[in-house]
Chain A
Amino acid sequence: MPRGKTLLWKIARHLAAIVALVLLGGLLSATLVRMAPGFDADERELDPSLNAESVRALRQSRAGEHNIFSFYAGYLRGAMHGDLGTSHALGQPVQSLLRERWPVTARVAGVGLLLAWLLASTLAFTACLWRLPAYETLGTAVSGAFLCIPAAVLALLSVILNAPGYLAIALIVFPKIYRYSRNLLAKSYSLPHITAARARGLGEARILAWHVLPVAGPQMIALAGITVSIALGASIPVEALCGLPGIGQLAWQAALSRDLPLLVNIMVLVTLVTLLANSGADVMTYMLKAPEEFA
């Protein structure tokens, strides 16, 4: 296949997979919602001011939701026209709720992710460069300690200590990045050509930039894609407990009030973002591994 076309083919395959997975995920969520106990119940039916005819009309309005496939087809039709339904608990269109809340999550999770990467990669690089056993033990102990604490506890501690929410997200994601990148860099530094480069007197900065990063880089980018998913997951406890009005808090509120249509849409949105991040990382990894194809 000609150069460049391989990349386009890869991107097209990823996009097709994303569409298929999101559609399948949506169907799965819709099926679970349809099968959930109490799906057919509507609190408005308990309103004593409604007469039998009004109650019948309410039931009639939900008649189309009984068949899973027609329910899902209706949902997809609406989604194509920008109508994602209405939240049962909040009484607002889901689309406007997502539009309002998404920027908060993007900002908090984005800053948290950036901080986590900065902290973890600095620690991992310096640990590999300096090779001080005490420093490495400290890094392992600190990351291990954060791995042992539930994300929700870190969120609670950030509330108690008046720390910003993004710091909690950073501390939740940091140990995963540190552990993986530390192992990856250690493996790269142990390669024979690095030993040879050192023996020839190459500086550490040059070894890092020319010989270590090209080996470890693609896997670090793949890890970056995965950490987006971890940061989004961490946004639930952080936003819920720190009172940040983002998607995580919305998902938590939807779960507590069993607002199933809202939950389905949040799941689809989060799946889409996760898949886009992973696919983006995969395409970038591919470009780094075979740069000659895009020269």
Chain B
Amino acid sequence: MNAARKLACVVVLTVCAVSLAANWLAPAGYAKQFREAPSAPPSRQHLLGTDEVGRDRFARILYGTRISLLLAPAAALVSTVMAALVGGLAGYLGGIWLRLARGFTDLFLSLPWLFLLIAVRALLPLNVSPLTSVLITFLILGLLGWAASARVLSTSADDLRNSDFVLQARASGLHGPRLFLVHVLPNLKPVLYAQFWISIPVFILAEANLGILGLGVAEPLPSWGSLLRELEDLISFREEPWRLVPLLLLAVVMTSFQLLLSNEEVSA
């Protein structure tokens, strides 16, 4: 691991650790309104000031980071499992199954990602509790984000199906699920890990886009999307530069993920 990747790893782990410590670092919580100090500038009480309803921005960033950073991997896990089921199995079975799966993934991939996301999000109720909105948002990301990974996995599984050791295993009498579980799936692990890690920053960005468009996590729960939405009424960067902190934090974390994902993993 080179120095840049080590640094990126430290940054991601630090941000995760700090967001997990939100309860101790910001005991007032993300929803408490300091009505005597709405839209306040940074001070000793409120390190990054308050929003227009008097909520502490620092606390909201910590809790929002926790939600975005913990649930994006959960969504990535869902999408990777789905990709393994669709792409991995289709590649292993080959023939008509592979062609069907590729046709289905092509259909999914031909739909622009953001159009698909907002369309499916709109199919579900919008007036839901904040917790339900978190679950819906990240579940949608997980359930819709599998197609690209499935395409990669189907190709890898197809290659494995025709590899010498699988042919030998077949010749030795191993068939069906056992062959898939014992010989194919373990060899797909590197591709699965790569697809899992690649999906995380994609889902973080997608949640941010949905949140800014008002289709993500519902108030008062914060997420990076809803925090970035507050930039809508920003008049000047010079007057309130502290309001750019969520954007800076997101950029730092995304850059770290980019550095963590080496070229080999991205091309896997």
Most chain B Cβ neighbours within 10 Å, of A38, A229, A233, A264: A233
Residues of A within 8 A of B231 (CB): 153, 156-157, 160
Residues of B within 8 A of A280 (CB): none
A167 interface residue per 8 A CB criterion: no
B157 interface residue per 8 A CB criterion: no
Interface of A, secondary structure class, is helix
A256 interface residue per 8 A CB criterion: yes
A266 interface residue per 8 A CB criterion: yes
Q: Which of A31-89 contact B (CB under 8 A)?
A: 32-33, 35-38
B134 interface residue per 8 A CB criterion: no
Cβ of B254 and Cβ of A233 under 8 Å apart?
A: no
Cβ of A270 and Cβ of B115 under 8 Å apart?
A: yes
Residues of A within 8 A of B107 (CB): 21, 24-25, 28
Residues of A within 8 A of B214 (CB): 256
Cβ of B125 and Cβ of A152 under 8 Å apart?
A: no
Cβ of B212 and Cβ of A152 under 8 Å apart?
A: yes
Cβ of B247 and Cβ of A236 under 8 Å apart?
A: no
Q: Of A152, A157, A258, which contacts B122 at CB under 8 A?
A: A258
Cβ of A263 and Cβ of B122 under 8 Å apart?
A: yes
Q: Which of A142-157 contact B (CB under 8 A)?
A: 144-145, 147-153, 156-157
Assuming A236-B114, A237-B213, A267-B115, is B251 touching A32 (CB within 8 A)? no
A238–chain B nearest beta-carbon distance, Å:
11
Residues of B within 8 A of A149 (CB): 247, 250-251, 254
B27 interface residue per 8 A CB criterion: no
Cβ of B111 and Cβ of A267 under 8 Å apart?
A: yes
Cβ of B113 and Cβ of A233 under 8 Å apart?
A: yes
B123–chain A nearest beta-carbon distance, Å:
4
Q: Of B110, B118, B254, which contacts A275 at CB under 8 A?
A: B110
Q: Of B114, B232, B237, which contacts A241 at CB under 8 A?
A: B232
Cβ of A237 and Cβ of B110 under 8 Å apart?
A: no
Assuming A147-B254, A148-B251, A152-B228, is B115 touching A236 (CB within 8 A)? yes
A286–chain B nearest beta-carbon distance, Å:
17
B126–chain A nearest beta-carbon distance, Å:
7
A254 interface residue per 8 A CB criterion: yes
A269–chain B nearest beta-carbon distance, Å:
10
**Which single residue of chain A is at the shortest CB-CB distance from B120?**
A32
Cβ of B123 and Cβ of A150 under 8 Å apart?
A: no
Q: How far is the CA of A270 from the CA of B116 in the complex (A)?
A: 10
Q: Of B113, B114, B124, which contacts A36 at CB under 8 A?
A: B124
Assuming A258-B126, A263-B119, is B111 touching A150 (CB within 8 A)? no
Cβ of A25 and Cβ of B254 under 8 Å apart?
A: no
B127–chain A nearest beta-carbon distance, Å:
10
Cβ of B119 and Cβ of A251 under 8 Å apart?
A: yes
Residues of A within 8 A of B237 (CB): 160
Residues of A within 8 A of B111 (CB): 25, 267, 270-271, 274
Q: How far is the CA of A35 from the CA of B124 in the complex (A)?
A: 10
Could you give, for residues 14-33 of chain A, a 1 whenever the CB lies within 8 Å of some chain B CB and a 0 otherwise?
Answer: 00000001001100110011
Q: How far is the CA of A62 from the CA of B258 in the complex (A)?
A: 50
Assuming A21-B106, A237-B213, is B118 touching A270 (CB within 8 A)? no
Q: How far is the CA of A94 from the CA of B252 in the complex (A)?
A: 42
Residues of A within 8 A of B121 (CB): 255
Could you give, for residues 139-175 of chain A, a 1 whenever the CB lies within 8 Å of some chain B CB and a 0 otherwise?
Answer: 0000011011111110011001000000000000000
Q: Which of B73-99 contact A (CB under 8 A)?
A: none
A123 interface residue per 8 A CB criterion: no
Residues of B within 8 A of A232 (CB): 112, 115
**Which single residue of chain B is at the shortest CB-CB distance from A34?**
B123
Q: How far is the CA of A251 from the CA of B119 in the complex (A)?
A: 8
Q: Of A35, A233, A259, which contacts B112 at CB under 8 A?
A: A233
Cβ of B119 and Cβ of A267 under 8 Å apart?
A: yes
The 5 closest A-B pairs by CB, nearest first: A148-B254, A233-B112, A152-B212, A255-B122, A36-B123
A interface residues, Cβ below 8 angstroms from B: 21, 24-25, 28-29, 32-33, 35-38, 144-145, 147-153, 156-157, 160, 229-230, 232-234, 236-237, 240-241, 251-252, 254-256, 258-260, 263-264, 266-267, 270-271, 274-275, 278
Known A144-B258, A236-B114, A237-B114; further 11 A-B contacts with Cβ < 8 A: A25-B111, A33-B123, A148-B255, A151-B205, A153-B212, A156-B228, A237-B209, A255-B119, A266-B119, A267-B111, A274-B111
A-B contact list, 10 entries, CB within 8 Å: A25-B111, A29-B119, A153-B228, A233-B113, A236-B115, A236-B213, A255-B119, A267-B115, A270-B115, A275-B110
